[in-house]
Structure 1
């Protein structure tokens, strides 16, 4: 697993993760199907299938481990929300899932904390997109973007506290940064496939 050099020296895991993934995050945000000036339901379907193709192999892989972030927070049925949205009346026909990335079977817990940083953080962006699109895409409920009624804030705060408790050493922080970069690279690849 390659470690990003630009963040390995930062001893705050959250600051290191932000530094390691900042450029990838900006590329992803600008390339999302919903990034255009007036996204429609076709764009939402494209967004959902991209996220589904990213999460479908990643979440079961995370569940094979007995330690790490997936054991700290209660599970969220993200794939079920995506499927419900994709099957909503008025959505374009579903397409078959894309080929899945293979994830390392020996990934450290810190590496997986980094991957979950990207997964959990995506819900914060989803809430912003929900606020922007709820009116224009009504009556579609946008379940995946909306998330829970409490919003993503409480879960994100709990995740950050747990991250700081479980990822503390320079090596763990470097592994977390590598995991976060791998998660971003995986979804960036899917976003480029959608454009191609």
Structure 2
């Protein structure tokens, strides 16, 4: 039985998701150019392109559903791609590659599977806030819009997300599906990531 199977037996979906994705999360966090001791604007541009190429097809795909996390009133739709594009257009940023074509996401994915995908997207905003605190000074005067995120930080939205996730994904089958969706979302960004230890 693998780590993901162990996670499904957990009765709390958030704990199960953390367990199922822990190794992927660690690999991503420790291997990105922005995890270097002294990241540059070039590193930030690479990071932004990776996130853009991951997030753009995901947002289009998720926008085709009217249930699950897309129907949650406590989680209004938020536009993250404009901040990425604005950051890439800042003076001093290197020329960036166009959006890479992405593999199709499953049209028949259930709500619980999509809650798992949303867990990775929402959680990435917490990581962005940590990076903003570390890089705002060294990369100034670049505004780092994407890392800065929404006014007031990601905390309130993350708390609303956790509450909704725990209310909507409760059965062992739903938890298993959410874990599978989260792992798929991590796998997709790991395929795009220029990991230092690859």
TM-score (normalizing by structure 1): 0.95
Structure 1 residue ranges (4+ consecutive) displaced by more than 6 angstroms after TM superposition: 193-196
Name the counterpart of 2:97.
95
Deviation track 1:92-143 (CA, whole Å, cap 9, x = no partner) reads 0121122212111100100000000000000000000000000010000000
- The corresponding residue for 1:158 is 160
Residue 77 of structure 2 corresponds to 75
CA drift at 1:40: 0.6
Question: Following superposition of structure 1 onto structure 2, how do residues 9-48 of structure 1 map, counting pairs within 5 Å?
Answer: 9-48=9-48
Inter-partner Cα distance in structure 2 for 1:4 and 1:30: 21
CA offsets 1:59-117 (integer angstroms, 9 cap, x no match): 11001011011221111111011000000111001211222121111001000000000
- Number of corresponding residues: 194
Shift in Å, 1:193: 7.7
Identify the residue that residue 55 of structure 2 maps to in structure 1. 55
1:86 and 1:124 mapped to 2: Cα distance? 21
Q: Corresponding residue for 1:65?
A: 65
Which blocks of at least 5 consecutive residues in structure 1 are unaligned? none
The DSSP-based 3-state class of the residue aligned with 1:7 is helix
CA RMSD of aligned residues (A): 1.5
The answer to whether structure 1 residue 183 and structure 2 residue 194 are counterparts is no
- What is the alpha-carbon distance in structure 1 between the residues aligned to residue 86 and residue 98 of structure 2? 16
Change (3 A) 1:88 1:144: same
| Residues 117, 168 of structure 1: alpha-carbon distance in 2 compared, 3 angstrom cutoff | same
Deviations 1:153-172 (A, max 9, x none): 00000000000010000000
Give 2:143's aligned residue: 141
CA distance in 1 between counterparts of 2:177 and 2:23 reads 18
TM-score, normalised on structure 2? 0.94
